[in-house]
Structure 1
Amino acid sequence: MEFELDEDQRLLRRTVRETVAKVRGRPADQQWATYLKLGWLEAPPLELALVLEELGYVADPTPFLATATWFAPLTGRLPEGSGTAVFDGAGRHVLDADRADEIALLTPGGVRVVRGADLVVERVPVLDPHLHVAQVVGPAELVAGVPDLALVGLAATAVGACRRILDLALAHVKQRTQFGRPLGSFQAVKHKAADMHVAIERARALTHFAALAIAEDDPRRQDAAHMAKAAAGECQRLVFRHGLQLFGAMGFTWENELQFVLKRAQACDLLLGAAALHRKALLL
């Protein structure tokens, strides 16, 4: 498989990055309308991973992730409005279920799509204040079967959030001084930044590989998705720890932007199973 992005993919990444930077301060419904207008939901797996990385970078508050990687791969179509899916067999921690227009249910008889308003849905509190997660009480028996693209979507989002954590930490240590020198000039700080960068690039490479495997229906697609999710989870744990430490006490303040991307990265690790669960899946 070819891992180098072509010119169209690099152009897409630049376009998404510029667009997201322009609309990120607007209400979530306006951001969602922009994404729909631009057709990002229809992107192939690798291009979708590029979009999701940029949305993870800004802790996107829209239902894009659930619509594109939870609903669409289960039903084979886009929803009328926003969508999500219940595919864990229990209806727990369903992304965006409290605001989805359509919800796909994975049942023993196949996929069933119902209106979100027709289900009993209760939003549950999670660490990320901009992330909508809910408990769904299904009207029928449910079975478990997580789409590969759902794992890749969470991995790509986590990579974007980790990238933002690193950028914020680098900006901080360059301007913050200690003993008359910028914090970034100390070797221990450089080592932590380097470790963060390597972890992010590893997770990104595995995420791109998994997206390509899905696009080409490669027989390794399931293992690749588990690898991407595990790598992204391991990445966020290292980046979370180092990023918070490099910020010091400022990293704990509510006013600091760091908290939002820290929480988004951690939520992406926990949803649909943390890294240890997916490493174990590779052994079965």
Structure 2
Amino acid sequence: MEFEFDDEQRLLQRVARDTVARSRDLPEDQLWATYLELGWLEAPPVELAIVLEELGYAADPTPFLATATWFAPLAGRLPRGSGTGVFDGAGGFVLDADRADEVALLTSEGVVVRDGKELAAERLSVFDPTLHIARVDAPDLVAGVPDLALMGLAISVVGSCRRILDLVVAHVKERHQFGVPIGSFQAVKHKAADMYVAIERAKVLAYFAALTIAEDDPRRGRAAAMAKAAAGDCQQVCFRNGFQLFGAMGYTWENELQIHLKRAKAGDLLLGTASEHRKALLV
């Protein structure tokens, strides 16, 4: 299977990148209104992946990811407002369940859509205070994670890791040691190169997963698991090297890096880590 963006997809990528860059400082409700106006929630899988990568790059605070990739594939439609889905069989860590207008539940009787206000969803305290993670108390849940949800998390992690690398590269060009930028040191170059390679590998697999979903390819399940595993591996490399190259200041509240480090780590932990998906691929 050969794949590259066509002209319309490249245009969407530029528009998404420019829009996110211009509007990232807007209040959350205005961001959400902008995404709805642009029709991004209605994008097919590959185009949706393009948008999600850029939103991941900006650590988007809206419920876009949960609405587009957790609710929509489960319910078969977009929600009235924002939405999310519960499909892990436990309801333990559900993205945006505490603020969703509608929640799709995967039960033994099929998919049940509930009003978010009527559902018992308790927001959990996690290491990323900007991320909404909740516990959902609902009966008769069964496990069945949509491929689109795995792909969405994978490409979002890729976006976060791209931002980590960009911040690190800018930092090592500016910080001097022994009279020269630390980016001129071979060891620093190697670590940045490792980050770049990991990002490109994860990106290719995420877009391959999006394409198999778009074409309803029988490989879509394995492709989504491969993408999620690769994204988890990618965040490990970028977290470790990014934190080391930036120094401890990169994890202070005043520094933007810590936001993207946490988002990348959360993306790996949600819906199964890299090791879990690699094990699943062996079955």
- Superposition TM-score tier, normalisation by shorter sequence: over 0.9
Ranges in structure 2 where 5+ consecutive residues have no aligned partner: none
Amino acid at match of 1:165: I
Q: Match for residue 40 of structure 1?
A: 40
In 1, distance between residues paired with 2:127 and 2:51? Answer: 24
How big is each residue's C-alpha offset from its partner over 1:56-91, in whole Å with a ceiling of 9 and x where there is no partner?
001100000000000000111000000001001111
Alignment of 1:152-171 (within 5 A): 152-171=151-170
Q: Structure 1 regions of 5+ residues with no counterpart?
A: none
* Paired amino acid for 1:207: A
What's the offset of the Cα at 1:249? 2.3
- State the TM-score, normalized to the length of structure 2: 0.99
Determine the structure 1 residue equivalent to 2:259: 260
1:1-284 map, 5 Å = 1-138=1-138, 140-284=139-283
Q: Which SS does the other structure have where 1:113 is aligned?
A: strand
What SS does structure 2 have at the residue aligned with 1:105? strand
Question: Matched residues in 2 for 1:132 and 1:33: separation?
Answer: 19
Cα offset, 1:278, TM superposition: 0.2
Q: CA deviation at 1:128?
A: 1.4
Quote how far apart the aligned CAs of 1:237 are.
Answer: 0.4
Specify the SS of the correspondent of 1:259: helix
SS in 1 for 2:134: strand
Structure 1 residues 9-57: Cα deviation after superposition (integer angstroms, max 9, x where no partner): 1110110010011111011111011001100001111111110010000
Please give the alpha-carbon distance, in whole angstroms, between the structure 2 residues aligned to 1:37 and 1:229.
Answer: 29
Letter in 1 for 2:61: P
Q: CA deviation at 1:129?
A: 1.5
Superposition deviation, residue 254 in structure 1: 1.2
2-side partners of 1:129 and 1:253: how far apart?
14
- In 2, Cα distance between equivalents of 1:115 and 1:232: 32
CA-atom RMSD, angstroms? 0.6
Deviations along 1:75-131, one digit per CA (max 9) or x if unpaired, are 110000000010011111000000000000001111000100111110001111211
Percent identity (aligned):
73
* Post-superposition offset of 1:235: 0.2
Deviation, 1:250, is 1.6
**CA deviation after TM superposition for structure 1 residue 3, in Å:** 1.8
The Cα of 1:269 is off from its aligned counterpart by 0.3
TM-score of the pair, normalised by structure 1: 0.99
Cα distance, 1:253 vs. partner? Answer: 1.5
Shift in Å at residue 181 of structure 1?
0.3
**Cα distance in 2 between the residues matched to 1:155 and 1:163:** 13
Deviation at 1:252, TM superposition (A): 2.3
Question: 1:43 is matched by which residue type in structure 2?
Answer: A
Q: Distance in 1 between matches of 2:57 and 2:280?
A: 28
Quick one: distance in 1 between partners of 2:130 and 2:23? 16
Mean CA deviation greater in 36-45 or 249-258: 249-258
Count of equivalent residues = 283
